[in-house]
Amino acid sequence: MRTNELKITNSLETVKTGINNDANSSKLQTYKRINPTLAVHEVYHPRSNIMIPDYKRSALTKLRTSSHSLNIERGRWARVDADMRFCRCKKNKIENEEHVILECELTRDLRRKYEVVGYTSLNEFFAIHPLEDVVNYTYEVMKVFV
């Protein structure tokens, strides 16, 4: 293993340890729900043979790292209780990552377009659904919630 690869591997292990040890951060808990094994997603893998534009990869990264404008985050900035950060679909659901990707009425047509059906968790969706559709679907969903 080359020195740079070793440094990156050690840095990733440090980050993983930090994430696993910080049980109080709700952002980290969200990230662990999305990526419980803390694995590097295929979209970031340099051997991926699918050409993914950076702006679409960025949308996926923002969703996975809670760097987005969903009400679960906006409410954090405005100090709204987490159980009051409702979705713009007006269905009395919390506007979080799982809701907008897996069940929101505002993204129903997109789910139909990209055949996003039957998933019970974001982790399952990100792990199983075809990569190109994960990226395109997530990109389009995030445009709904700007």
φ and ψ at residue 99, rounded to 5 degrees: -60, -50
- Min separation Cβ 112 and Zn ion, Å: 16
Shortest CB 135 distance to Zn ion, Å: 21
Specify the stretch interacting with Zn ion by CB under 5 A; choose among 33-41, 71-79, 101-109, 137-145.
101-109
Closest contact distance (angstroms) between CB of 109 and Zn ion is 13
Among 59, 101, 104, 116, binds Zn ion (CB under 5 A): 104
**Residue 40 three-state SS:** coil
Closest to Zn ion by CB, 127 or 144: 144
- In 3-state terms, the chain is what percent helix, strand and coil (to 5)? 60, 0, 40
Report which residue type is found at 125: F
Consecutive H or E run containing 54: helix 54-64
CB 44, CB 133: distance < 8 Å: no
Nearer to Zn ion, 63 or 87 (CB): 87
Residues 35-54 that bind Zn ion (CB under 5 A): none
For Zn ion, which is the closer residue by CB, 85 or 129?
85
- Please, what is the minimum distance in Å from the beta carbon of residue 54 to Zn ion? 28
Find the distance separating the first CA and the last CA of the chain, reported in whole Å.
42
- Phi and psi at 86, nearest 5°, equal -75, 160
Q: Which of residues 73-92 bind Zn ion (CB under 5 A)?
A: 87, 89
The answer to whether 19 touches 31, Cβ cutoff 8 Å, is yes
**Smallest distance from the beta carbon of 100 to Zn ion, in angstroms?**
6
The residues that touch Zn ion, with contacts defined as CB under 5 A, are 87, 89, 104
